[in-house]
Structure 1
């Protein structure tokens, strides 16, 4: 039986770095169950859920750190707590921007005990209307007993012009 762990890596973007990380993982008979990569201003951050034979885990981690000395690694055990999660919910939130908006959205989700699986926030100044527009995409794990309608209603109340769409 394979063991699961999360590998997080941060560093400067270099050609083929993600491919090289995957090749090293395969060299130890490991596999990425899932992965996420974000690139921003010449840097990247990647998270991989790795499945590997327990006896190869420490050797793989040591090899990653030594072969990619310019990258920063964090390794964590997978936390499995899916008992209370009944469904996934994908939302978009669009509105005029204001100070504290991201914090208010995160507080609403946290107070509902929702697990934020992915969130992306963007702000764009629109000169034709003379204001900055806020747009976000959220992927949430929703526990039993919390309705989609209540989540949408609370998020629409975060500001007067908020539009929330289930996608």
Structure 2
């Protein structure tokens, strides 16, 4: 049996969905798989992170295909299997009025509680009415792990205290039901 390896491809530049499909095909043809991927397009630019598992003997071939993709800049980093059981990962969604410094406050609370932030995705939404933009909303989804002695309900209460009208939803509790 061939030894498996994990690495992360960090890609950016100009690329079409067809280019990304071709990179996935090369990975698959070399007995590899994309464990997880986050790919975002903004105008004609792409930025992405892809965690790839493949036989050690195929790493060079797959990475070479990424490096040869026209318009992309690629960097690679060794990775390892998740250290946490799926039950230990909390997925939270935070919705509130948009305001300056909210991400910094969220990060500070999580850091103070020794949470390990696995990912944060944020969006700012502009809701328009008949007179134009009426309100700016901020929404964020994040995945965290916590020390065993920390209660997720305490974290949620702290996050909800950031500002009036903020709502924090434990998606992991909803998904487990």
Please list every run of 5 or more consecutive structure 2 residues that lacks an aligned counterpart in the other structure. Answer: 172-177
Q: Which residue of structure 2 aligns with residue 155 of structure 1?
A: 159
Correspondence list, 1:46-85, <5 A: 46-66=48-68, 68-79=69-80, 82=83
In terms of mean alpha carbon deviation, does 96-105 or 51-60 score higher?
51-60
Structure 2 CA distance for aligned equivalents of residues 22 and 81 of structure 1? 22
Q: Which residue of structure 1 aligns with residue 26 of structure 2?
A: 24
Q: How many residues align?
A: 166
Structure 1 CA distance for aligned equivalents of residues 92 and 98 of structure 2? 17
**Aligned in 2, Cα 1:135/1:74: closer, same or farther, shift over 3 Å?**
same
C-alpha displacement at 1:152, in angstroms? 0.1
Please list every run of 5 or more consecutive structure 1 residues that lacks an aligned counterpart in the other structure. Answer: none
Q: Secondary structure at the match of 1:143?
A: coil
C-alpha displacement at 1:30, in angstroms? 1.9
Q: Which residue of structure 2 aligns with residue 45 of structure 1?
A: 47
C-alpha displacement at 1:96, in angstroms? 1.6
**Aligned in 2, Cα 1:92/1:65: closer, same or farther, shift over 3 Å?**
same
RMSD: 2.4
Q: Which residue of structure 2 aligns with residue 8 of structure 1?
A: 10
**Aligned in 2, Cα 1:127/1:3: closer, same or farther, shift over 3 Å?**
closer
Structure 1 CA distance for aligned equivalents of residues 64 and 148 of structure 2? 40
Structure 2 CA distance for aligned equivalents of residues 71 and 88 of structure 1? 32
Structure 2 CA distance for aligned equivalents of residues 47 and 133 of structure 1? 27
Q: Which residue of structure 2 aligns with residue 98 of structure 1?
A: 99
Q: Secondary structure at the match of 1:16?
A: helix
Structure 2 CA distance for aligned equivalents of residues 75 and 33 of structure 1? 15
**TM norm structure 2:** 0.80
C-alpha displacement at 1:83, in angstroms? 6.0
Correspondence list, 1:131-146, <5 A: 131-146=135-150
Would the aligned equivalents of 1:86 and 1:142 in 2 still touch at CA under 8 Å? no
